[in-house]
Chain A
């Protein structure tokens, strides 16, 4: 049964993250021993800090080609022991808060009890997406890259999607470590835990700006009814990591005050740096919103000199640079370009829509964010934000706007969004600015909380609307994201790899069985995660694809394919140039080549190639020069 290795991996790995986070947290807070932070907040901070630092460590280890099971498991074991030593007190502290929350729950009205149960159900429903086939970018690279790192023990560009390795790698490195521990299914559970830790810090931020318990429950309701969050569960995508680090950075930015200035400033910088490393697009959205909060927080401290204020900013900046330094070092080693992904095509030059669509999105932004279904948008903000937005008029009116933390938060969120839509209006996907987008749930939750407290009818209003929205979202996604039966089948009965994605599996399993180790496959298959790791490492590269398209005749293209050492072709049927070219070239197979159709279904076709004579030399092959890594070499290099 898979449940035991999943549970074991998650517990050990999470405690290891707490171990590393505990060490660093103790060092950072050494001067602020009298600062009291609630155990749950401290634990969430340590967990996120530890995993951020651990991902950096994995990057450096993988760059050297030493991401091997003994080293990875050894480090995890040491950190696990430290995790127990440094955090057992916090565990008891967290355990003590549970009876408090239970007592509050029992004292709530029936309506609020129902709402709380609905929210907790949506939170737990995330786990039922383990049985969901990873999709799109998840199988293309977010899971495929960790699979290659884990099996080759090295971080290197992924054939066909080389630019992805230039991005900041956070979630991907944890996926690789969990795969090395032997539990790829645990990757999605780890994402859920990370989201939970981020939610704890967002709730703490809510408490800090005046939300009471009911407002905090509404915050959770809004998070878990945002389809931009729901769609990430089980997909294999790692966008959630950026958002959770953003929540942590916002929380610690709000904590900056005289008694803990160093600790809070350092943590703000570390989490801010981690947020941008985890999702590079946050440089254009999250950073401006964080700058607003920091400027407000630091400059509103009247009893602090300007020199001290500048020192806070410097400390934040140094901390952010320290944690983000892995990015330029990694990219210098992999791409000879420390500023990558800047300068890499397709990463920053993205334009998804035409000008008319961009203008329409800009003009109808609140509706587009709530109901939009644009290409690659993949999710929306919860409709509850739009529903409750008039209620922000109930927020207490400060003498000056900047005296209200809630209003400052709202302004920070809007500044972040505005910066994104000025910089990249043609890229409309909430996951690119999720951290600052979800800040909007705080002022709207407070408005709804105030309204619910005015009288009984208004309370029922808020409750009914929220419960109906939760039910609606939960039931809508119960057909294709929340899949308890498939998840149960997967973790209890252990289906073979990718069996819960039968369309892909029919051909992929067959390929994995019959294709020789290191065989090169000419493929446009986005679902390459299911292929054996050696086949992924030996697959078609982006440069080869570019060269292929520059060739004019079918015979020359077949000659190119053979010359590059490809022995099979796996084409995913789509109306795209590569698929169309191969399919038309199949009508013009040269005399010297035999092309055999091995498998085909409505989505894929798998062909095997063999030469009838020696008229066309094979110039490249894929082999293990540096076990267990597979690389593509020119054959003449080994035959001088």
Chain B
């Protein structure tokens, strides 16, 4: 059992805590690997013919973390 000590004491089974935490951490890690894939992961994707779906998934997610709406006057100075 784990008590969350910053709120009112709530008893939550450890297995539930681990599941929720695992899902959360897995999601963050997955996002990190999709957006910034290390070379071995890309090689693995090539080996199992998943490179194109990987790139397609990247192309779907990346626009959310980028913009084309840039102040050109400022950008052109640099």
13 contacts between A and B (CB under 8 A): A353-B71, A371-B35, A383-B29, A392-B6, A397-B6, A454-B2, A461-B21, A472-B32, A475-B38, A475-B40, A476-B38, A576-B76, A577-B76
Residues 61 to 78 of chain B near chain A (Cβ within 8 Å) = 62, 64-67, 69-71, 74-78
A549 to chain B, nearest CB (A): 11
Spot the interface stretch: A83-91, A271-279, A372-380, A503-511.
Answer: A372-380
A520 to chain B, nearest CB (A): 21
A356 touches B69 (CB 8 A): yes
Measured between alpha carbons, how far is A577 from B74 in the docked complex, in Å?
Answer: 12
B67 touches A350 (CB 8 A): no
B29 touches A387 (CB 8 A): yes
Measured between alpha carbons, how far is A458 from B7 in the docked complex, in Å?
Answer: 21
A394 touches B4 (CB 8 A): yes
Measured between alpha carbons, how far is A376 from B76 in the docked complex, in Å?
Answer: 12
B-contact 0/1 string along A425-459, CB 8 Å cutoff: 01000000000000000000000000000110110
Tier of interface size on chain B:
35 or more
Given contacts A140-B78, A346-B77, A469-B32, are A395 and B6 in contact (CB under 8 A)? yes
A-contact 0/1 string along B1-44, CB 8 Å cutoff: 01011110000001000101110110011011101111111000
A577 partner residues in chain B, CB cutoff 8 A: 76
A351 touches B29 (CB 8 A): no
Q: Is the interface of B mostly helix, strand, loop or mixed?
A: helix
Known: A383-B28, A476-B38. 11 other contacts (CB 8 A): A371-B31, A373-B35, A375-B70, A390-B21, A465-B29, A472-B33, A472-B36, A472-B41, A475-B38, A475-B41, A478-B38
B67 partner residues in chain A, CB cutoff 8 A: 353-354, 357, 360, 374-375
Measured between alpha carbons, how far is A482 from B48 in the docked complex, in Å?
Answer: 28
Given contacts A387-B29, A395-B6, A397-B6, are A351 and B74 in contact (CB under 8 A)? yes
B70 partner residues in chain A, CB cutoff 8 A: 352-354, 375
B40 touches A386 (CB 8 A): no
Which are the 5 A-B pairs with shortest beta-carbon distances? A475-B38, A354-B69, A357-B67, A476-B38, A576-B76
Measured between alpha carbons, how far is A478 from B2 in the docked complex, in Å?
Answer: 40
B71 partner residues in chain A, CB cutoff 8 A: 351-354, 426
B74 touches A352 (CB 8 A): yes
**Does A471 sit within 8 A of B, measured CB to CB?**
yes
A-contact 0/1 string along B42-63, CB 8 Å cutoff: 0000000000000000000010
B78 touches A136 (CB 8 A): yes
Measured between alpha carbons, how far is A353 from B20 in the docked complex, in Å?
Answer: 36
**Does A396 sit within 8 A of B, measured CB to CB?**
yes
**Does A487 sit within 8 A of B, measured CB to CB?**
no
A455 partner residues in chain B, CB cutoff 8 A: 14
A465 partner residues in chain B, CB cutoff 8 A: 25, 29
A394 to chain B, nearest CB (A): 6
Given contacts A371-B31, A393-B5, A394-B4, are A472 and B74 in contact (CB under 8 A)? no
A387 partner residues in chain B, CB cutoff 8 A: 24-25, 28-29
B24 partner residues in chain A, CB cutoff 8 A: 387, 390
A86 to chain B, nearest CB (A): 43
Measured between alpha carbons, how far is A454 from B6 in the docked complex, in Å?
Answer: 16
Binding site for B on A (CB under 8 A): 136-137, 140, 227, 346, 350-354, 356-357, 360, 364, 367-368, 370-376, 383, 386-387, 390-397, 426, 454-455, 457-458, 461, 465, 468-469, 471-476, 478-479, 526, 576-577
B74 touches A457 (CB 8 A): no
Measured between alpha carbons, how far is A471 from B32 in the docked complex, in Å?
Answer: 12
Q: Which residue of A lies closest to B40 (CB)?
A: A475
B22 partner residues in chain A, CB cutoff 8 A: 461
A472 touches B38 (CB 8 A): yes
A392 partner residues in chain B, CB cutoff 8 A: 6
Q: Which residue of A lies closest to B3 (CB)?
A: A394
B74 to chain A, nearest CB (A): 6
B5 touches A396 (CB 8 A): yes
Given contacts A390-B24, A457-B18, are A371 and B76 in contact (CB under 8 A)? no
Measured between alpha carbons, how far is A472 from B75 in the docked complex, in Å?
Answer: 31
B29 touches A397 (CB 8 A): no
B37 partner residues in chain A, CB cutoff 8 A: 476
Q: Which residue of B lies closest to A392 (CB)?
A: B6
Measured between alpha carbons, how far is A376 from B29 in the docked complex, in Å?
Answer: 24
B20 partner residues in chain A, CB cutoff 8 A: 390
A630 to chain B, nearest CB (A): 24
B35 partner residues in chain A, CB cutoff 8 A: 371, 373
Q: Which residue of B lies closest to A227 (CB)?
A: B36
A367 touches B65 (CB 8 A): yes
A395 to chain B, nearest CB (A): 6
B32 partner residues in chain A, CB cutoff 8 A: 370-371, 383, 469, 472
Measured between alpha carbons, how far is A469 from B41 in the docked complex, in Å?
Answer: 13
Measured between alpha carbons, how far is A376 from B70 in the docked complex, in Å?
Answer: 10
B5 touches A397 (CB 8 A): yes
A411 to chain B, nearest CB (A): 14
A577 to chain B, nearest CB (A): 6
B18 partner residues in chain A, CB cutoff 8 A: 457-458, 461
A262 to chain B, nearest CB (A): 36
A395 touches B5 (CB 8 A): yes
B65 touches A353 (CB 8 A): no
Measured between alpha carbons, how far is A356 from B66 in the docked complex, in Å?
Answer: 12
B38 touches A374 (CB 8 A): no
A521 to chain B, nearest CB (A): 19
A394 partner residues in chain B, CB cutoff 8 A: 2, 4-6
B75 partner residues in chain A, CB cutoff 8 A: 352, 375-376
Measured between alpha carbons, how far is A371 from B35 in the docked complex, in Å?
Answer: 8
Q: Which residue of A lies closest to B9 (CB)?
A: A397
A471 partner residues in chain B, CB cutoff 8 A: 38
B6 touches A373 (CB 8 A): no
Measured between alpha carbons, how far is A367 from B27 in the docked complex, in Å?
Answer: 12
